[in-house]
Chains A and B, each alone.
Chain A
Amino acid sequence: MNIGVLALQGDFHEHVHMLDALGVKPRLVRLPEHLSGLAGLIIPGGESTTIGKLAEAYGLVEPIREFGREGAIWGTCAGAIFLSKDAHRDQPLLHLMDIQVERNAFGRQVDSFTIDLAVPFFDDGLENPYHAVFIRAPIIREVRGEAQVLLSLPDSRIVAARQGKLLATSFHPELTPDTRFHQYFLAMARL
């Protein structure tokens, strides 16, 4: 199975290392032709304005939208913003997931945090919580249409959502050694 990682800017190497550990040799995607034959695409953390701008400049927005009709796409943090239909401000977006996100929703860098979350849809997700890393993270303000809430913080703010084969997480599974979210995405891409 071919998995791509959008490598315009951000922590794409961290995603590559996670996939390597799972025996998947991912392809770096920088130009539209790199999308062909992929079953899934990961959009990494980074600055969503930079990623969006570069995706526009190199003609990637439409091809990724097209890819998202069949293929699986997972956006982490900036990637989740880029996947959304509504980021509450004017910046390039894929308009694929029916979610409204709010950028930097927890504040500035001094407010970045980690928290261990129970993940009911992992086999061992209750007894073995998931260490979630939030860096100047967005929240998912609203989930509409086909999109569904996957995970929320104890204060009920939404931090993960899914819509068919599209997945958005506010946090960064690529910054931990725990591969469970990557395995979850690979299973989605196999569908």
Chain B
Amino acid sequence: MEQQVATFEVKKGLAQMLKGGVIMDVVTPDHAKIAEDAGAVAVMALERVPADIRAQGGVARMSDPELIIQIMDAVSIPVMAKCRIGHFVEAQILESLGVDYIDESEVLTPADEAHHIYKHPFKVPFVCGCRNLGEALRRIGEGAAMIRTKGEAGTGDVVEAVRHARSVLGEIGRLQNMPEAELMSYAKEIGAPFELVRETRDLGRLPVVNFAAGGIATPADAALMMQLGVDGVFVGSGIFKSGDPAKRAEAIVKATTHYDNPQILAEVSRNLGEPMVGRQVTDIPEPELISTRGW
């Protein structure tokens, strides 16, 4: 009776425990405590929330390990941290710190313009962003044990999160009605591994947990994504860039649980104070878009 660690089963298992929950971006141990007390299922430790990365520009990299360790010490819930796309050494460092999940994230400046990290050999599980089914299945093929739709981080505008969730879930719907004989050419068309296309068709969903991210700023936004059919939500700038982070965080947690109960949604949406100052995605020039990073 041997113990087995770091199997795909246990990597994807942690994501299953996060379902129906809210993962919050935090930049200090105090934020992490506020997030935990509000009912977050996990925190994402980073130096700047996406809205600040967007505003300040420059190269965005993995956070200082000291900050990540302080956040890990501050809370009992899982701690995630971001590395740059393709930067497998940042990932090795994060793994050595003992973070519970690595987000290979387009929010940071990509380190490789052609390749994502080959994630299978790592003991720590990875979550990756996607805009469509092909991108999701390529990431799973590389070893991602959790997927999030990208949205457009740091905007507070939910439109891209909706677009990407509808894209992934709509493509899965079409795939389910597709004759088997057409799967190979479909796999070629979307650039996805054939076996994962077939598995997704048989399951009627992605083979791993699928959260929404990028632009979720209100309880109603979170409930919208849940009703569209994702498994949970990431909230980045939406909480700690708002007027009353603790209250908003708790409201978004409640809205994610009671996403199909408009009375509760109305109640938790009351008197939340100022939301983050948003930025319409349609006002952002093409080169400044974050969601187009990733291949």
Q: With contacts A54-B257, A110-B123 known, is A9 near B41, CB below 8 A?
A: yes
Q: Is B236 an interface residue (CB 8 A)?
A: no
Q: Digit string of A104-120 for contact with B (CB within 8 Å is 1, else 0)? A: 10011111111111100
User: How many Å lie between the Cα of A46 and that of B42 in the bound state?
Assistant: 11
Write out the residue numbers on chain B whose beta carbons fall within 8 Å of the beta carbon of A162. Answer: none
| One of A46, A49, A109, A110 near B20 (C-beta < 8 A) | A46
Stretch of B6-14, B46-54, B177-185, B240-248 that contacts chain A: B6-14
- Would you call B10 and A114 a contact (CB within 8 A)? yes
Would you call A129 an interface residue if the criterion is a C-beta within 8 Å of the partner chain's C-beta atoms? yes
- One of B94-102, B166-174, B286-294 contacting the partner: B94-102
Q: How far is the CA of A109 from the CA of B123 in the complex (A)?
A: 9
Taken residue by residue from 9 to 29, chain B's Cβ proximity to chain A (1 for < 8 Å, 0 otherwise) reads as 110011011111100000000
Q: A46-B21, A47-B41, A112-B5 are in contact. Are A133 and B77 (CB under 8 A)?
A: no
Judge if A8 is at the interface, Cβ distance under 8 Å.
yes
Beyond contacts A11-B17, A110-B5: 4 other A-B pairs, Cβ-Cβ < 8 A, are A77-B17, A103-B76, A110-B95, A112-B14
Report whether A129 and B1 are in contact in the complex, using a CB–CB cutoff of 8 Å: yes
Q: A134–B101 Cα gap in the complex (Å)?
A: 16
Cβ of A111 and Cβ of B5 under 8 Å apart? yes
A78 close to B (CB within 8 Å): yes
Number of A-B contacts (CB under 8 A): 124
Report yes or no: B19 in contact with A49, Cβ–Cβ below 8 A: no
Question: Interface centre among B20, B37, B76, B78, by most A CB within 10 Å?
Answer: B20
Which of B1, B2, B9, B124 makes the CB contact (< 8 A) with A109? B124
Q: How far is the CB of A49 from chain B (nearest CB, A)?
A: 6
Nearest A-chain residue to B260, judged by Cβ: A30
28 A–B pairs (Cβ distance < 8 Å), ordered by A: A7-B20, A7-B257, A9-B41, A9-B257, A10-B20, A11-B16, A14-B16, A46-B17, A46-B18, A46-B41, A47-B18, A47-B41, A49-B36, A53-B39, A53-B253, A78-B17, A107-B98, A108-B98, A109-B14, A109-B78, A110-B95, A110-B98, A112-B14, A115-B1, A115-B4, A116-B1, A135-B16, A175-B13
Question: For this complex, into which size category does the number of interface residues on chain A fall?
Answer: 35 or more
User: Does A50 lie at the interface of the complex (its beta carbon under 8 Å from any beta carbon of B)?
Assistant: yes
Q: Assess the B40–A108 pair: CB atoms within 8 A.
A: no
Distance of A115 Cα from B256 Cα, bound (Å): 33
The complex places the Cα of A168 from the Cα of B183 at a distance, in Å, of 44
- Give Cα A45–Cα B17 distance, bound, in whole angstroms: 6
Would you give the shortest CB distance from B137 to chain A, in whole angstroms? 21
Known contacts A30-B258, A109-B78; is-contact A50 B39 (Cβ 8 Å) = yes
**Nearest A residue to B6 by beta-carbon distance?**
A110
- Proximity string of chain A (162-186) to chain B, C-beta cutoff 8 Å, 1 when within and 0 when not: 0000000000100100000000000
Partner of B253, one of A14, A54, A107: A54
Q: Chain A residue with minimal CB distance to B97?
A: A108
Among residues 106 to 145 in chain A, which have CB atoms less than 8 Å away from a CB atom of chain B?
Answer: 107-118, 129, 133-136
